């Protein structure tokens, strides 16, 4: 076994950070894990291990179950500990040599077309790139190793290459032009891991992506069920799931919020720190042996950030994971939890080694660490001349640039020792035959490998049908978790059924209502399918969560598409039935059971077919704007060429194929056949010519309806359809078959797109700027209060406001604030008798641990709460809050929500135009933004 550096678990007395209780207890979590490990290892034990357990129970000394699980020759035990290790040697990463791009506008496609023609569609540039290597080097020969059970901290300023390195170490290489060097995961190559063991290497970005309407318990339970090992390893898989779920809730301090929805920027759920711990617990449940975390403490308070790193420490200690993380502004407590640290700057490696040896190494180069500066801040600011402090006597020899630090590192004894340790670790991996051990161990945990040998090549733990069952259950939970949407759709169908039914109420079965009858069917089909457009934002907004689950090898995205289709059926059927019952009998369509239920069937099939159509558009579109554009054009063409607004024989021959390619056309034809097949239409009124007094004999009149014959007062519905629209009743079920065929085709294409297409998952980002920036007014000297404030602040002078200034300002007081929200089975009080005040000229800090209620209090004080019961007294200068309070209050929320295509200057100008008084000129508002 490798000599891993293990952290001693702290006592429960150490569970405090800055006076606040921590939620993650390493010692308690380790004990809980070991008990579950022992219980489930017995169930999957081989005979020799079972015998050893009997010896242990009999009091035989030397029994250590953890050592068995880690042993390479043992075949027992659940997949808790896997001896993966991470090795990277001389890793150089190259990206495309592009520093920025322009924001797309309406003329961008035209400009690209002209530019493409002028430049030969990019062929010369492609050839030049192949010859000259049009690329930019992002990292320079990084080397290092992370053994199982170790944690590596990657430090560097923004833009130094931390995210690039972590993406490649996490096997997320898409988008990079070329990668030199070697990356090995326990002896497995990146290509083999990507194809067959993708879930063993997990990369987690800064943002937390979850389905917001699921509770914490549902989120973790789903992840556990997706990665539960096969019956070859576990006898009681259900008991295993229950035990691991309870362990994760306790281990990461999520028990109190287990039944709270996760939420997002638009739906209030758990706190930011709790959401971060949910991400960690989900990744632990996914069973990845190597975890890579990129800047995941962003937005967390100090207590939550320490909780987060302690959670990673648990995974490394008890699950023997190799953990790599980048953290900005890490406290000293966080820094000491890591075993190793890697310092990089400008894409160059400055140090790799033990966290305890990093400071002495740089002090030996002549850089002194200030007494009160944290280790991470010291290591991050090494190349910043205004931040670092040079030791006396090293003024001329101390490195100043990243290149000089890199040269000093490559020539150092520590670098040579690191390479020696790296080679020894690689030799140990090869000697142990660890790659084959990992293949056999992971393959044994997969369901179905005993029956189908091809299952061993799949990166997924569970079978496709098992995934389909799990995903159908989860989609139903997501669907039922949004009651507002369900209620809205039911009300929508009732309202439009009443509106349309009364618009076409009691149509006569005569020529006076024959055209209106077709119009009623067309309008009913159209409006009953428009609700399907809500699938577009759903498909686009949830794709990042799906990408994360796909990278963790939790399920096939194709299985998700089929599960969504299955969940569509019951609610779509209910909507169609509600609409049909109201609309059908108000309009007085043919009142027989076969006609009614056939009408319902066609309407229902048209609805789910259009749902699949819009879902397909959402999955093939890179963003929601493109999706809405495609859907708008597609829906417009479908309406125009359905066959009702213009008959097929009136369509331009160049565009009649659109009628064949739209499912609405087949649905409408089927509906018309169902309604008109048994109708006998009596010609009346203006449809009989000549008309008027004295023309009462049909032998002297002609019915002008298409399909009518001279001397006949009645015309059959079949004759009318054939003559007016070229529709034949005998083809009624062929039209329905065409509708079903479109639905099947859309479903297959959705599954294909979700399985293979990915958008917005690039390896690195490019800065987008305006092609023609706005004109900026020349800077002018200002004697405004803002400038005076800046000068006084810069000089270090700050005077407390006088009594007159305070009296002229605004004082906000609140007393006995109580806030209660409804929960399942009762109510929950989130704020309990909170009082306080703020006065002009002062700053008040609101502090508390994660989940303490800080955001809830700020939401309440800024009048942002829309649910629950808010009680208490809030006064502005002693008076009740005016109606304009929200308009005059600035509130920066925890999550950043902005229009993605707006520049920073445009955003600030827009805010200034709306928020500053009308008496301020536009020029002054723009100058204020520039300052």
d(CA 425, CA 438): 16
Strands 142-146 and 86-96: what pairing?
A: antiparallel
pLDDT for 362 beyond 80: yes
Spatial neighbors of 253 by CB under 8 A, at least 6 apart, are 22, 23, 24, 277, 307
Q: How is residue 14 annotated by DSSP?
A: G
Per-residue confidence band for 687, with pLDDT thresholds at 50, 70 and 90: confident
Which residue, among 620, 621, 664, has the nearest Cα to 641 in the 3D structure? 664
Per-residue confidence band for 793, with pLDDT thresholds at 50, 70 and 90: very low
- Please name the residue that has the structure tokens 């791009």: 101
Q: Where are the alpha helices (DSSP H) in 71-157?
A: 108-118, 123-132
Q: What is the pLDDT of residue 792?
A: 44
Q: Is the peptide bond before 71 cis (omega within 30 degrees of 0)?
A: no
Per-residue confidence band for 55, with pLDDT thresholds at 50, 70 and 90: very low
* Mean pLDDT computed over 687-697: 72
What number of other Cβ atoms are within 10 A of residue 12's Cβ? Answer: 10
* Mean pLDDT computed over 600-621: 94
What would the pLDDT profile of 804-829 be if each residue is shown by its tens digit? 544 456 888 999 999 998 877 778 88
Q: What is the pLDDT of residue 81?
A: 60
pLDDT for 651 beyond 50: yes
What average pLDDT does the chain have?
A: 81
Instruction: Among 374-388, 471-485, 762-776, 895-909, name the one with the lowest average pLDDT.
Output: 762-776
| Radius of gyration (C-alpha) of the chain in whole angstroms | 34
Which residue, among 231, 600, 270, has the nearest Cα to 448 in the 3D structure? 231
Q: What is the pLDDT of residue 829?
A: 87
Which residue, among 830, 807, 809, 828, has the nearest Cα to 818 in the 3D structure? 830
**pTM, entire model:** 0.78
Q: How is residue 164 annotated by DSSP?
A: H
Q: What angle do CA 407, 90, 387 make, to 5 degrees?
A: 40
| Percent over 90 (pLDDT), the chain | 32
pLDDT for 470 beyond 90: yes
**Of residues 297 and 169, which shows the higher confidence score?**
169
d(CA 691, CA 113): 62
* Mean pLDDT computed over 412-427: 93
Per-residue confidence band for 41, with pLDDT thresholds at 50, 70 and 90: low
d(CA 224, CA 137): 40
CA dihedral 575, 578, 584, 587 (to 10 degrees): -100
pLDDT for 180 beyond 50: yes
Spatial neighbors of 486 by CB under 8 A, at least 6 apart, are 479, 480, 571
The first and second tokens of residue 553, run together, are: 């090898």
Q: What is the pLDDT of residue 407?
A: 93
Per-residue confidence band for 229, with pLDDT thresholds at 50, 70 and 90: confident
* Mean pLDDT computed over 702-713: 80
pLDDT for 405 beyond 90: yes
pLDDT for 794 beyond 50: no
What number of other Cβ atoms are within 10 A of residue 877's Cβ? Answer: 10
591 backbone dihedrals φ, ψ, rounded to 5° = -95, 75
pLDDT for 100 beyond 90: no
* Mean pLDDT computed over 157-186: 89
**Of residues 767 and 410, which shows the higher confidence score?**
410
Q: What is the pLDDT of residue 881?
A: 84
What number of other Cβ atoms are within 10 A of residue 131's Cβ? Answer: 8
pLDDT for 67 beyond 90: no
Q: What is the pLDDT of residue 6?
A: 39
Q: Where are the alpha helices (DSSP H) in 81-141?
A: 108-118, 123-132
Which residue, among 845, 654, 664, 828, has the nearest Cα to 739 in the 3D structure? 664
**Of residues 139 and 207, which shows the higher confidence score?**
139
Q: What is the pLDDT of residue 746?
A: 95
* Mean pLDDT computed over 532-554: 89
Q: What is the pLDDT of residue 40?
A: 61
d(CA 896, CA 816): 30
* Mean pLDDT computed over 866-880: 86
């Amino acid at each position: 076994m490798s000599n891993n550096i293990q952290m001693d678990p702290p006592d429960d007395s150490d569970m405090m950070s800055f006076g606040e209780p921590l939620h993650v207890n390493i010692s308690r979590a380790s004990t809980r894990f070991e008990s579950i490990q022992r219980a489930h290892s017995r169930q999957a034990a081989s005979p020799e291990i079972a015998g050893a357990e009997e010896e242990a129970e009999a009091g035989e000394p030397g029994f250590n179950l953890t050592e068995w699980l880690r042993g390479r020759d043992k075949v027992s035990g659940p997949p808790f500990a896997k001896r993966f290790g991470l090795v990277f040697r001389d890793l150089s990463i190259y990206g495309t040599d592009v520093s920025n791009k322009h924001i797309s506008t309406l003329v961008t496609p035209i400009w690209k077309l002209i530019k493409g023609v002028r430049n030969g569609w990019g062929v010369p540039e492609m050839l030049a790139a192949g010859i000259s290597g049009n690329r930019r080097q992002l990292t320079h020969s990084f080397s290092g190793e992370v053994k199982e059970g170790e944690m590596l901290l990657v430090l560097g300023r923004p833009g130094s290459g931390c995210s690039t390195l972590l993406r490649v170490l996490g096997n997320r290489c898409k988008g990079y032009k070329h990668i030199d060097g070697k990356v090995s995961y326990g002896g497995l190559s990146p290509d083999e891991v990507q194809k067959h063991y993708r879930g063993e290497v997990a990369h987690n970005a800064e943002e937390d992506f979850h389905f917001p309407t699921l509770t914490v318990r549902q989120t973790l339970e789903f992840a556990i069920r997706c990665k539960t090992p096969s019956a070859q390893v576990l006898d009681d898989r259900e008991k295993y799931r229950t035990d691991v779920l309870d362990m994760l809730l306790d281990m990461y301090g999520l028990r109190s919020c287990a039944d709270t929805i996760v939420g997002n920027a638009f739906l209030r759920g758990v706190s930011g720190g709790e959401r971060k711990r949910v991400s960690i617990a989900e990744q632990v449940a996914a069973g990845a042996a190597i975890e890579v975390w990129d800047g995941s403490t962003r937005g967390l308070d100090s207590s939550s950030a320490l909780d987060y790193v302690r959670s990673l420490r648990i995974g490394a200690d008890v699950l023997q994971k190799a953990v790599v993380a980048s953290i900005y502004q890490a406290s000293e407590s966080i820094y000491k939890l890591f075993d190793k640290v890697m310092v990089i700057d400008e894409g160059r490696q400055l140090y790799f080694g033990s966290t305890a040896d990093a400071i002495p190494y740089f002090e030996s180069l002549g850089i002194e660490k200030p007494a009160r500066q944290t280790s991470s801040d010291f290591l991050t600011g090494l190349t910043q001349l205004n931040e670092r402090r040079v030791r006396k006597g090293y003024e001329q020899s101390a490195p100043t640039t990243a290149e000089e630090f890199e040269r000093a590192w490559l020539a150092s004894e520590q670098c040579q020792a690191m390479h020696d340790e790296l080679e020894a670790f690689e030799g140990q991996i090869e000697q142990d035959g660890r790659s084959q051990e990992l293949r056999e161990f992971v393959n044994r945990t997969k369901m179905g490998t005993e029956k189908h040998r091809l299952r061993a090549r799949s990166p997924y733990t569970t079978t496709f049908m098992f995934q389909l069952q799990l995903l159908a259950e989860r989609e139903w939970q997501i669907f039922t978790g949004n009651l507002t949407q369900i209620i809205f759709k039911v009300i929508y169908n009732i309202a439009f059924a009443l509106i349309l039914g009364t618009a076409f109420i009691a149509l006569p079965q005569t020529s006076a209502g024959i055209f209106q009858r077709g119009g009623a069917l067309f309008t009913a089909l159209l409006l009953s399918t428009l609700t399907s457009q809500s699938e577009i934002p759903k498909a686009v907004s949830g794709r990042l969560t799906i990408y994360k689950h796909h990278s963790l090898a939790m399920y096939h995205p194709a299985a998700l598409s089929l599960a969504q289709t299955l969940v569509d059926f019951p609610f779509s059927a209910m909507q169609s039935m509600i609409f049909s019952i109201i609309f059908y009998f108000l309009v007085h369509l043919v009142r027989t059971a076969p006609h009614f239920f056939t009408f319902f069937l066609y309407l229902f099939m048209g609805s789910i077919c259009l749902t699949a159509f819009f879902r397909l558009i959402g999955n093939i579109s890179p963003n929601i704007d493109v999706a809405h554009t495609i859907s708008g054009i597609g829906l417009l063409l479908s309406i125009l060429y359905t066959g009702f607004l213009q008959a097929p024989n009136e369509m331009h021959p160049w565009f009649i194929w659109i009628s064949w390619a739209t499912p609405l056309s087949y649905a409408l034809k089927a509906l018309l056949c169902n309604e008109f097949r048994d109708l006998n239409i009596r010609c009346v009124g203006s449809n009989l010519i000549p008309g008027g007094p004295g023309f009462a004999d049909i032998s002297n009149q002609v019915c002008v309806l298409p399909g009518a014959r001279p001397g006949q007062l009645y015309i059959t519905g079949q004759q009318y359809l054939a003559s007016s629209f070229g529709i034949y009743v005998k083809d009624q079920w062929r039209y329905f078959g065409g509708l079903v065929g479109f639905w099947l085709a859309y479903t297959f294409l959705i599954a294909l797109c979700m399985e293979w297409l990915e958008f917005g998952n690039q390896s690195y980002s490019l800065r987008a700027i305006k092609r023609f920036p706005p004109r900026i007014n020349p800077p002018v000297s200002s004697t405004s209060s803002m400038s005076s404030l800046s000068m006084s602040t810069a000089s270090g002078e700050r005077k407390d406001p006088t009594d007159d200034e305070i009296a002229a300002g605004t004082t906000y007081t609140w007393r006995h604030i109580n806030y209660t929200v409804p929960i399942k089975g009762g109510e929950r009080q989130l704020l309990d008798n909170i009082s306080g005040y703020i006065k002009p000229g002062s700053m008040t800090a609101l502090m508390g641990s994660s989940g303490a209620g800080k955001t809830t209090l700020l939401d309440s004080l800024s009048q942002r709460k829309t649910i629950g019961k808010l009680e208490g007294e809030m006064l502005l200068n002693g008076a009740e809050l005016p109606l304009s309070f929200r308009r005059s209050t600035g509130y920066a929320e925890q999550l950043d929500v902005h229009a993605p295509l707006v520049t920073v200057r445009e955003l600030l100008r827009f805010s200034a135009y709306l928020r500053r008084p009308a008496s301020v000129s536009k020029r002054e508002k723009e100058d204020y933004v520039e300052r």
